[in-house]
Structure 1
């Protein structure tokens, strides 16, 4: 039966809009689609609160009825009242409470939390590559997870807080006024003190909660960074140094939490003091009024019962209030990361890229990262349909950046890049990248099965096609023998985070199989065989040569022998194209390429300037 309620809200219903960057609008964005369930939760909370007040009020009346009446005629005289109250206690209050529990546990918060996390994930996933380069992945994940739960918790806290304030305080005022006007005085003073304390402390808790949330996210990011690069930490024997990094982050987070806890401790002490004064003052006043005949025993019982209930609930209210602003602070902190506008977006009129021939034109391209040093300077290059070119140059010459711009991982400062005459900035990013197969030097795999990693190239591929790509990439030999810690074998074996359970050469072959399966019309090889031994590289080069047939290819390699047979080589230096030609033509010119070739064929490719090499 409960499963029916669990599926009333679809958390994965996609909203095309992005979450706004203002707090109230951020909340409204997520809560508006589920407003009927919020109203139902409000109604259930109101019913529970009214039932509780009715029970307290009737207890006082019951005391007076019992003191005035006799056992013989008690049921005759008050039977219908007792039956009505029994209905409230036994049926209506439990029904309202169960409704509230079902709404809170099965319907609203679980689905709403999942929906918020899902939509935030979709928005963050659409961010540019630079967005992820500039932050810890662990920190981003923490903010997505925390923000979802904090929005939901703050909603339920507002509902709890609202009904406690409206129903119980208002009811206490009405009941006390009906007894004696002096009974309102302690309650009014207590409310004034409560409001003053809340007004002073709650905003400060909110600010410190945001700081604590940021410190918590940063701690998660730093720890994830250490664990994600554990091989480097071990190889450089930096365990002690990284212990200090973690220690510093933990100390910072603990300090922020203690800053917040100081306020909460002071707040609790003041609250308990004011509660004690309220109980004492109300009790003394009620006793005095009873002694002078202005209050009945039942009214005294109701007054003391309500005051005790209020003081108990005041702790809950204050904790709810501080928890509310704690969660609001967490939402504000997460919102600053999550709700950033996308830095690189498709145009509203973006069309699908259609590759008919595969010509690539770089038209006076200029680019720098974040407005810093210029990386590419007036790069002008046309790659003909089906042509295979190799990009050559020392590290930092701009080769990989040029390819990244073609994939539109970044936007140009000036110039244009066109594929078959279509400016890459005017087509959808998805269609652009679907038309280009890429094998990079730094191959990271998903912590999934080998099958899923290869199928990433073409999700609709069947096992036969996957196995064919695997054989062509010379990966079938090692894959057949893989077994992960859970006993999954071969294609079903999982590769670990970023593929750490595989060697660099094995990861590279999986990446090549993935691109072979994708079979895109444009192919980019960025040090595609750098992690392979010579024997495996020779096998794969044959497959890559076959794969290149009919495709436009851009290959980047520091090992010049791997691209010497390309149709044309383009030599870059300091962000410019300085030479172009075949391998033989460039050797004849005795320029930078010839110097690099001589140095490499001698066993070492240095990074010194051409005039330094020439001077030797």
Structure 2
């Protein structure tokens, strides 16, 4: 039975998730797509259980009346058939409860939030680089995780409390009225007063719950940020500073928590007072009616039991309602992040990119990161198929921005970028990036095995192809000596978050192996050898030269000697091309490139003399 119900709802739907709407109710409704039938079944079963529980109290009253008017010896003779019916209903309730718990705990409890997290995660993976530059990674993670759980708890609370208790109370009223209509008065009065208290307290709990959810996400984000950048924290001896930074967020969370608990305490006091009034009113009024002969002893017993049951349930209802609106606040807080439209999206009807030649063309491109100061200004450049160019310029000249635009991490504000005549804005992003290999200065590795990091370039590669790529990148030798705390060694060793367990040069060589395995027709090198020592750099120059053969290459390097032998050098300043030509031509012009070359010293960017053989051959 367990596997049957567990497999009813698939937690990982293949369909690409749509961006949820921003409105609260439309957002929750969208979250229930594909599972509404199970939620409806849960609601019906909850209502059935509530009606059954209320019926038990009415049954208690009838049994008391039977016992008061029937001789013990004649009980089975006169009421035996009714007792059998009651026994059958009691036995049948087991099936009702079993179905309810199977649907709730096997079908929905795990699969529902997993399904939401799976969809939310895919939505976040599709967000642009600009989105991630404005958010804490830990904050985004918290919203993905806690919003999914909050939606599930809201659905459960709605079906269990709002629907279930609603049916329960209506049934109580009807059954109490079945003894005498006047017995409905204490329950109706309590319900009105309880509803007023709920209307007062619950929205306030919801508002503070939203603030608390945001404070929790901020607190988690700050703590995660410190862990992610722990080397920087320790380098500058800022452990206490980071503790204080986190403490400020914790204090904000604490403040919202105190406000929430004050409301909860006041709500609980009011709730208990109303329950006491209900018990006094119900018991007192039913006994008054009994003394006047208007109802029997069974009615007194039944309504008293009902009042006592509501007394016990009211505290549970209060906490569930408080939890409901806290979850509402959490969902409202998550909506702002999870419904943010994607800035970079595939255009309607986007086709896969085809790269038969590898020509890259920038046509009158302008871009400014949404700011007033332009970063790229009317930039036009054609990189011929198989040509290798070097982008040169001071920091902030726009070199890396061009690379980001070519990868379509950002969309150009005007102009266009073409690859083999195809506007990259009109092809799918995945196909675009699958045809581009890149090695950057800021090498990022996943906290997985070395093997997983290398085959990330081409997941379908064989073990032999992976090993060959590592050998060509001069990484095979040091990989054999790696190990981790779990005893994994070599290619199975895990590298730590962002590859923290490896040196900069080791990370760079694994990244180069990854790109070698990818073997894309367009190659981007952004300070590709910056983390390598001179001996290792020389060792892999031939591998890089082999990697570049037959590819269109765009290389950025502050060490000009590493790109001086490119087919063409493009010198940028202020987002524009100011010089263009080969190494000797630009030196002869005596312009910006010549000044940069002259300023190179100490082996950083210009160890070689102008007439020496540069490091990278075409």
The TM-score normalised by the length of structure 2 is 0.96
1:439 corresponding residue in structure 2:
439
1:72 corresponding residue in structure 2:
73
Instruction: Tell me the distance in 2 between the aligned counterparts of 1:62 and 1:70.
Output: 13
Give 1:322 shift: 2.1
2:532 corresponding residue in structure 1:
532
CA deviations on 1:17-76 (whole Å, 9 max, x unpaired) are 222222222222222311221222122212211221221111111111112111111111
CA deviations on 1:58-105 (whole Å, 9 max, x unpaired) are 11111111121111111111111111111222x111211111111111
Instruction: Tell me the distance in 2 between the aligned counterparts of 1:290 and 1:275.
Output: 22
2:610 corresponding residue in structure 1:
none
Instruction: Tell me the distance in 1 between the aligned counterparts of 2:463 and 2:24.
Output: 48
Instruction: Tell me the distance in 2 between the aligned counterparts of 1:527 and 1:578.
Output: 21
2:37 corresponding residue in structure 1:
36
Map of 1:246-325 to 2, 5 A cutoff? 246-325=246-325
Instruction: Tell me the distance in 1 between the aligned counterparts of 2:172 and 2:363.
Output: 77
| 1:197 matched to 2:197 | yes
Q: Report SS of the residue matched to 1:364.
A: strand
Give 1:604 shift: 6.2
Q: Report SS of the residue matched to 2:364.
A: strand
Retained in 2: the 8 A contact 1:484–1:494?
yes
| 1:96 matched to 2:96 | yes
Retained in 2: the 8 A contact 1:516–1:547?
yes
Instruction: Tell me the distance in 1 between the aligned counterparts of 2:198 and 2:216.
Output: 25
Give 1:603 shift: 5.2
Instruction: Tell me the distance in 2 between the aligned counterparts of 1:522 and 1:173.
Output: 75
1:85 corresponding residue in structure 2:
86
Retained in 2: the 8 A contact 1:55–1:85?
no
Retained in 1: the 8 A contact 2:46–2:164?
no
Moved more, 66-75 or 459-468: 66-75
Retained in 2: the 8 A contact 1:15–1:119?
no
Map of 1:354-373 to 2, 5 A cutoff? 354-373=354-373
Misfit runs of 4+, over 6 Å:
none
Give 1:188 shift: 1.9
2:564 corresponding residue in structure 1:
564
Structure 1 residue runs of 5 or longer lacking an equivalent are 607-616
Retained in 1: the 8 A contact 2:43–2:164?
no
CA deviations on 1:246-293 (whole Å, 9 max, x unpaired) are 110111111112222221111111001110111112111222222222
Moved more, 554-563 or 367-376: 367-376
Instruction: Tell me the distance in 1 between the aligned counterparts of 2:521 and 2:305.
Output: 79
1:402 corresponding residue in structure 2:
402
Retained in 1: the 8 A contact 2:129–2:409?
yes
Over the residues paired in the alignment, what is the CA RMSD in angstroms?
Answer: 1.5
Instruction: Tell me the distance in 1 between the aligned counterparts of 2:303 and 2:34.
Output: 42
| 1:168 matched to 2:168 | yes
Map of 1:126-165 to 2, 5 A cutoff? 126-165=126-165
Instruction: Tell me the distance in 2 between the aligned counterparts of 1:520 and 1:569.
Output: 22
Moved more, 150-159 or 595-604: 595-604
Instruction: Tell me the distance in 2 between the aligned counterparts of 1:330 and 1:151.
Output: 9
Instruction: Tell me the distance in 1 between the aligned counterparts of 2:311 and 2:496.
Output: 54
**Change beyond 3 A, Cα 1:294–1:554:** same
Instruction: Tell me the distance in 1 between the aligned counterparts of 2:58 and 2:470.
Output: 77
Instruction: Tell me the distance in 1 between the aligned counterparts of 2:330 and 2:37.
Output: 26
1:125 corresponding residue in structure 2:
125
Retained in 2: the 8 A contact 1:360–1:384?
yes
Map of 1:449-460 to 2, 5 A cutoff? 449-460=449-460
Moved more, 207-216 or 319-328: 319-328
**Change beyond 3 A, Cα 1:373–1:416:** same
Instruction: Tell me the distance in 2 between the aligned counterparts of 1:555 and 1:36.
Output: 56
Instruction: Tell me the distance in 1 between the aligned counterparts of 2:195 and 2:355.
Output: 67
Moved more, 348-357 or 436-445: 348-357
**Change beyond 3 A, Cα 1:28–1:15:** farther
The number of equivalent residue pairs is 605
Q: Report SS of the residue matched to 1:474.
A: coil
Instruction: Tell me the distance in 2 between the aligned counterparts of 1:328 and 1:141.
Output: 18
2:609 corresponding residue in structure 1:
none
Map of 1:438-587 to 2, 5 A cutoff? 438-587=438-587
Give 1:5 shift: 1.3
2:209 corresponding residue in structure 1:
209
Retained in 2: the 8 A contact 1:495–1:502?
yes
| 1:18 matched to 2:24 | no
Give 1:108 shift: 1.8
Q: Report SS of the residue matched to 2:72.
A: coil
Instruction: Tell me the distance in 2 between the aligned counterparts of 1:560 and 1:167.
Output: 78
CA deviations on 1:224-244 (whole Å, 9 max, x unpaired) are 100000000000001111110
Retained in 1: the 8 A contact 2:365–2:378?
yes
Q: Report SS of the residue matched to 1:371.
A: coil
CA deviations on 1:575-599 (whole Å, 9 max, x unpaired) are 1111111111111111111111111
Retained in 2: the 8 A contact 1:168–1:310?
no
Give 1:308 shift: 0.8
1:49 corresponding residue in structure 2:
50
1:610 corresponding residue in structure 2:
none
Instruction: Tell me the distance in 1 between the aligned counterparts of 2:123 and 2:86.
Output: 52
Moved more, 288-297 or 219-228: 288-297
2:615 corresponding residue in structure 1:
none
Retained in 2: the 8 A contact 1:393–1:571?
yes
Instruction: Tell me the distance in 2 between the aligned counterparts of 1:602 and 1:307.
Output: 88
Map of 1:230-241 to 2, 5 A cutoff? 230-241=230-241
CA deviations on 1:448-490 (whole Å, 9 max, x unpaired) are 1111100010010011000000000000111001111111111
Give 1:314 shift: 1.9
Retained in 1: the 8 A contact 2:572–2:578?
yes
CA deviations on 1:136-167 (whole Å, 9 max, x unpaired) are 11111111111111111111111112344433
**Change beyond 3 A, Cα 1:21–1:70:** same
Give 1:516 shift: 0.3
Retained in 2: the 8 A contact 1:127–1:343?
yes
Q: Report SS of the residue matched to 1:402.
A: helix
Instruction: Tell me the distance in 2 between the aligned counterparts of 1:93 and 1:176.
Output: 22
The TM-score normalised by the length of structure 1 is 0.96
Retained in 2: the 8 A contact 1:365–1:377?
yes
2:612 corresponding residue in structure 1:
none
Instruction: Tell me the distance in 2 between the aligned counterparts of 1:15 and 1:155.
Output: 23
CA deviations on 1:195-240 (whole Å, 9 max, x unpaired) are 1111111111111111111111111111110000000000000111
**Change beyond 3 A, Cα 1:604–1:108:** closer
